[in-house]
Chain A
Amino acid sequence: MHTRVIVFSAAIIGVGLLLSSFLGLFEERIDFNTQVKPILNKNCITCHGGVKKASGFSVLFRHEALAPAKSGKPAIIPGDADASEMIRRLTLTDHEERMPLEADPLKPEDIDVLRKWIDQGAEWGDHWAYTRVEKPDVPKIGTFWSRLGIADNQEQNWAKNEIDHFILEKLREHDLKPSPEADKATLIRRLSLDITGLPPTEKEVTDFVQDKSLNAYENVVNRLLASPAYGERWTALWLDLARYADSKGYEKDAQRSLWRYRDWVINAFNQDKPYDQFAVEQLAGDLLSNRTDDQLIATGFHRNTMTNDEGGTQDEEFRTAAIIDRVNTTWDVFQGTTFACVQCHSHPYDPFTHDEYYKYLAFFNNTRDEDVENDSPKLRFFKGTDSVNVAELKTWVQTHASQPQQVQDWMNFVRMTEPKINSHDFDQYVNSSLLGAQYYGFYHGGSSRIKSVNLTGMNRLVMAIGTKSDSATLTLRQDSPTGPSILTLPVPKTGSPWNDSIMVLALPKLSGRHHLYLTLDNPKKPQDWTMVKWLSFRPALPGTPATSLGEADQKLQTILNGNPETTLVLLEGSGNFARKTHVFERGNWLVKGEVVTPDVPKSLPAFTTDTNGKELPRNRLGLAQWMVSRENPLTARVAVNRLWEQLFGTGLVETVEDLGTQGIPPTHRKLLDYLAAEFMETDHWSVKRLLKRMVMSATYQQRSSVSADVLAKDPFNRWLARGPRVRLTSEQVRDQALTVSGLLSRKMFGPSVMPAQPDGIWQSPYNGESWKLSDGSDKYRRALYTHWKRTAPYPSMLTFDSPSREFCQVRRIRTNTPLQALVTLNDPVFVESAQALATSMQQQGKTAEQQIQAGFRQVMLRNPSPNKLAVLLRLYKQSEMYYKKHPADAQTFMGCYGSNDMPRATPELAALTVTANTMLNLDEVITKE
């Protein structure tokens, strides 16, 4: 892009002694992005852009706009507005011809901008977010004298770090002044909720309030960043982006096991894994050399796509849907650009073309997952005798292997049973069917073809097969359904064709590529189905006879038939398993256009070398490395903007999901670029350091209350003349209630848990799974460990704006609804919290007043104002009076959810519970102030 601009500028100068453009040099230069593009987008691009190119004219790309239109002439002639058809049509009075059609004419000043712009050469600028991140100078604050340290200056007294300089610059522009620092109790609550997702303890507040040292605040920041709860809090955010769930989605929405990925994210945050590495491992951990289990687990990021088990749905359609989702999610999460439009047509507003979408998709289209019911590939975790067997097999292979690679290959196969041919790929069916549109089945006389298998060196067939019959015989034949038999197998009786047994079978020595045919004989039970789920052709295990089975094969078979824990992973296919990528015409997966190879859009930096100058491989790994290179204009900006949004409630670009031309322009573009540059260069992608920069700013530490005057000037706090004040997230609302009442379990990691949930939420068709209340303290785990079923997510979290996680959701839109009030008033989790809080309140004072004060401190970490205390006390008295008259109700109320060892359900305790329930519903409680 840069070179093009330069070449073009040179051309202008060359040709450019045209009078108008010569004069143009003395005029103020028109900026395409801020002045021209908005006019084009508003008035022209709907008809003259990506999808539609009315009269063959488009203003999306420069080369399109300058090309001859249908009339044969270009509509824009750089350097000559008067000769440009575009200007003529904009200025006509005849309604038939004047542009825009059927709309009001452009304002004269807009036409003037366009005229000057054409005269100046009709240059196309790059949208700011697609240009390289350059670190801007930090704005000066204060006065000349104050900077010398001679005079006192309010700005300088207020500012704590560079962020504040950028903020002050904008505040001045908008005639606003920053707010003073929040009081210490408020500040530490804000900080703790932001960094760990949990409120501080009363002791932590007291310690901080009493610590008068200069770095008291910084010490708290450091302590919180080092807390294990930090990883949990930021993982909660990341799980929305990764669309993490414990179920597969779609109709049946059966459970799946991917919690190891969630745990990986927690650890990654806690270890402060640099964000570039964090991205690379999730996108392409399987392609890293000497990859670890953890790096494979990380690829669960893109295995969170949904799998469709609905009977009758085609695997290839939903495999494609998953790949498209991976592309769109990658853009949403790392590039902050809505790429999905380009699936069907060139982007109407941003500089991406239709075929570029599919070139990009080609990076992702090569993985082994194929929407099969068993969710393969999965990484297996062996325990007990299985792990002993695996260790023994590994020793065997190590002892007998002629090349070290063989050990790796075999261990990969044992861990992931890949690569394999899924049986939905068979064709030429006779007496056969793809049962449930999922797996291949055949009965007596049935046959099918396995296309073009390279048999050179392949002496083993591993196959998952089953039938309810005890008399079925399978034959594998070469070249035709009646060709020579290379294997005959009595099919194991497994009770049902859907139950499979994995067989390791020896093949005779063969070479070259052959079509192979499976045939089935079962004259006794001609109607009984036999099902083949998958098969894999492999060399013989080292140290075993080539054409017959050895002891090691038996061990292998035992291992393969085990039932270990698993987690879903990405695995690249190569050789026979590599796929071609086609353009889908208008986004329809059935209409395949030209074949494309992996590449990135031209309007972004070229796909050449990584930061160290090494050539990038044209695969997902290369793509991931390209994405986190210093040259990529989006990755760091998007990450910074997202973290900023989490702390301040609104991003520097409000549309966190879209930094492109359709997004809302940044409020503080220079600050965003400054932080992005620092994030990459100084902080080396350390998220903890970036967060620390943000929370160390005076901007962050401001008071969040607002005056009527400032509210009128800046109702949405875009210019940050005050601190953030936003409702807590769904996770924080729950976790806080459990924390302040003392119920929260701090157990980390492991399979998801099922806290109390009303009956009848889970009703997936053709799915017998049910919600089973977790035992003991597992009921009180942090929200992020809650079992997440996509079609029926945990109701209270959904009500507080958690997404369903069927797809990536970049931004939660905060709502404020009566259904939320019902959750915090009546959801058993919150009533139990109130009961526990009341019990603790009772132990902390003799009088009701003391008890309520203690409770308020426990929740809000400060003393209630006398007025608030009076209101609560009045409510307490009202309740106490009632429960004294109705002791049975007190019993019922206190016994309704809590554990059996609830202390005596006195009227006083019931009244305290009512008071606690009220406190947990206060605006200031469910808000970060």
Chain B
Amino acid sequence: MKKLLEELQQAALQRETRRHFLHTCSTGIGAMAMSTVLGSCGFFGESDKKGVVGTQVPGSGEREPMDVRTAQFAGKAKRVIYIHMAGSPSQLELFDYKPELQKYDGKDCPQSLLEGKKFAFIRGVPKMLGPQAKFAQRGQSGAWISDYLPHLHRVTDEITFLKAMHTDQFNHAPAQLLMHTGSARLGRPSIGSWVTYGLGSENDNLPGYIVLASGGKQPDAGKSVWGSGFLPSVYQGVQCRTDGEPVLYVSDPAGMPRDIRKGTIDAISEINRQQYDEVKDPEVLTRIAQYELAFRMQMSVPDAMDIKGEPQYMLDMYGVDPNKGSFSRNCLLARRLVERGVRFVQLFDWGWDAHGTDTSTALDLGFHDKCRQSDQAVAALLTDLKQRGLLEDTLVVWGGEFGRTPMQENRDGQSLPFKGRDHHLEAFTVWMAGGGVKRGFSFGETDDIGYYGVKDKVHVHDLQATILHLLGFNHEKFTYQFQGRPFRLTDVAGKVIKPILA
């Protein structure tokens, strides 16, 4: 192995052209190969006109795509767990307490709130809908949290609530894209890709950016919400599955023992080495390294994803049924992954789109169930991270892609059998905990009925700017040169929300 590394470096040293980053540097997860190429091809260095890498971060002798790198400045967060409730939970039933709204319950929505607005499903004049859950102030910080999330009450004082979030998109797929890639259209890198591109990974044997999905469906925007866009594909999220193989094709065929697989990898490496001696193509050396990494991943991924070793009290704390894939299990896995040095863990849980068209989307039925199924695990995750001393430098983000209307949805102008709310882009709640945000803090206010943000509004791009800031990046300078111009996560907008920084 040592000899291989030396040769790789030797081969890499022979290359110096900056602009070939994509060709040579996108060589795979934890590529042993091309190490010095990254240093020499401008990774984090100055970008030239055609250069692909455009961050103006001081170089630090980085060697490979997933090597640990220092950020632009010392960030308080080292890693991220982003919990996305796909479909968008109702802030009015969880965090944004609006007693005034109750007074209007069942009354026609005033025309002033409807003029010039477009909704996904509301047509004509809908009725207002009061909060469906009971609220009280919780913890020392006195945050309002409803009785739908009883477990979260215990950890309230770890959390900063952003209560006047707003977005530009009121359909799921574009809103999810905006939330995760900074643009409502396809083609941009996701935030997890930006972060792993910026910081690398702390574990050579696992992907640096792992995605776990629950709820039976993938998010509406598909794999693009964890795609790497124009960044090298090595930075795209790797979806680990909780049913079947954790990573596709990670298991050897039945009847092939590890020893034999080891034998094949050794044979492949040895023949490839002979081939390299003949043709001297450095790509062969990269391939040798990738096969050896694949072999290690075959052990490390299932190991990280296997919760059998977790004690019963831990399973109980998260509420995990060890035999079933679930959101709770994904929360526990998220902790296991960040513990092992995975940089960005993205959780998606599908099924939060409470329109009220049937029982599964009724606020007091299906939605309440989704709260019950997730509440304990989210609280457990914060507790667990804290107990392990990981919460200090792990940023946990929780939210959907937009909010819900204070009006009851009247799909296509007719009253629905169940209580639900339509998509709403003007106001919703996102919360963050750990990794450099204030503990027990609330930021932003909406009006009396929760329709508009009226104080300390936070746009999606501001949230992204803040997450990058917490990790040590100036979002305006963390750019990537593509198609002739520098691109960044926050597009052309975004301000760091300074008041929430610890």
Spell out A's residues near B (CB within 8 Å): 38, 41-42, 250-251, 253, 308, 310-314, 321, 338, 341, 348-349, 431-437, 441, 527, 529, 655, 657-658, 660-662, 664, 704-708, 711-712, 715-716, 725, 727, 758-760, 763-765, 790-792, 795-796, 799, 801, 804, 806-807, 813-823, 825-828, 831, 865, 867-868, 871-872, 874-875, 878-879, 882, 886, 889-897, 910, 914, 917-918, 921-924, 927, 929
Contact = CB atoms under 8 A, between A and B. Distances in A.
A769 B414 CA distance: 29
A815 B223 contact: no
Given A660-B484, A923-B287, 5 more contacts: A313-B120, A707-B280, A711-B11, A896-B254, A923-B272
Interface residues of B, number: 97
- Dominant secondary structure at the A interface: loop
Contact of A822 (B23, B27, B31, B250): B250
Contact of A892 (B217, B223, B254): B254
A921 B249 contact: no
A705 B254 CA distance: 38
A806 B449 CA distance: 40
A758 B249 CA distance: 9
A874 B123 CA distance: 73
Contacts of A818: 28-30, 290-291, 293-294, 297
Nearest to A886: B257
A813 B287 CA distance: 16
B253 A897 contact: yes
Q: Which of A758, A813, A825, A922 has the most CB of B within 10 A?
A: A825
B264 A716 contact: no
A251 B413 contact: no
Contacts of B252: 825-826
B260 interface: yes
Given A818-B291, A896-B254, A923-B275, A312 B120 contact: yes
Contact of A826 (B241, B243, B249, B279): B249
Interface stretch (B13-21, B73-81, B315-323): B13-21
A822 B253 contact: no
Contacts of A664: 19, 50
B198 to A, nearest CB: 19
A439 to B, nearest CB: 11
Contacts of B264: 825, 875, 914, 917-918, 921
Given A310-B172, A893-B255, A725 B279 contact: yes
B244 A817 contact: no
A819 B249 CA distance: 8
A288 B257 CA distance: 62
B142 interface: no
A705 B278 contact: yes
A253 B222 CA distance: 9
29 contacts: A253-B222, A312-B120, A341-B485, A431-B413, A434-B412, A658-B484, A660-B484, A706-B280, A711-B280, A727-B283, A758-B244, A763-B217, A804-B224, A813-B232, A818-B29, A818-B294, A826-B249, A868-B271, A871-B274, A875-B267, A878-B260, A879-B260, A889-B256, A892-B254, A893-B256, A896-B254, A921-B264, A922-B272, A922-B275
Contacts of A890: 255
Q: Which of B257, B270, B287, B350 has the most CB of A within 10 A?
A: B287
B294 A822 contact: yes
Contacts of A253: 222
Nearest to A759: B244
A894 B255 CA distance: 8
Contacts of A814: 23
Contact of A790 (B29, B222, B249, B286): B222
Contact of B274 (A815, A867, A895, A918): A867
A41 B172 contact: no
B271 A807 contact: no
B279 A813 contact: no
Contacts of A441: 412
Contacts of A813: 22-23, 26, 232-233
B238 interface: yes
B280 A708 contact: yes
Contacts of B217: 763-765
B253 A826 contact: yes
A704 B232 CA distance: 26
Contacts of B298: 822
B233 to A, nearest CB: 5
Contact of B255 (A348, A657, A910): A910
Contacts of B280: 705-708, 711
B75 to A, nearest CB: 25
A411 to B, nearest CB: 37
- Please name the 5 residue pairs, one residue from A and one from B, whose CB atoms are nearest each other, closest first: A893-B255, A312-B120, A662-B484, A791-B222, A892-B255
A871 B281 CA distance: 21
A716 B293 contact: no
Given A310-B173, A815-B28, A348 B257 contact: no
Contacts of A822: 247-250, 294, 297-298
A716 B249 contact: no
Contact of A435 (B251, B266, B276, B412): B412
A222 B16 CA distance: 40
A711 B14 CA distance: 7
B305 to A, nearest CB: 15
Contact of A816 (B254, B271, B283, B483): B283
B179 to A, nearest CB: 15
B115 interface: no
A433 B250 CA distance: 50
Nearest to B121: A312
B171 A310 contact: yes
B479 to A, nearest CB: 12
Contacts of A892: 254-255
Contacts of B373: none
A911 B118 CA distance: 65
B484 A715 contact: no
Contacts of B256: 889, 893, 914
A832 to B, nearest CB: 10
Nearest to A828: B253
A546 B187 CA distance: 54
Contacts of B274: 865, 867-868, 871
B150 interface: no
Contacts of A875: 263-264, 266-267
A822 B296 CA distance: 11
B54 to A, nearest CB: 13
A867 B276 CA distance: 13
A708 B282 CA distance: 10
Given A871-B267, A878-B260, A763 B17 contact: no
Contact of B259 (A348, A434, A882): A882
B359 interface: no
A633 B82 CA distance: 49
A110 B342 CA distance: 47
Nearest to B325: A760
Interface in B1-54: 11, 14-17, 19-20, 22-23, 26-31, 33, 49-50
A715 B243 CA distance: 44
Contacts of A816: 26-28, 31, 33, 283, 286-287, 290
Contacts of B120: 311-313, 437
Nearest to B285: A923
Q: Which of A716, A826, A894 has the most CB of B within 10 A?
A: A826
Contacts of B291: 818, 821, 921
Contacts of B133: none
A675 to B, nearest CB: 23
Contacts of B50: 655, 662, 664
Q: Which of A661, A819, A831 has the most CB of B within 10 A?
A: A819
Given A662-B484, A893-B254, A712 B14 contact: yes
Given A312-B423, A815-B28, A818-B293, A806 B224 contact: yes
B271 A872 contact: yes
B365 interface: no
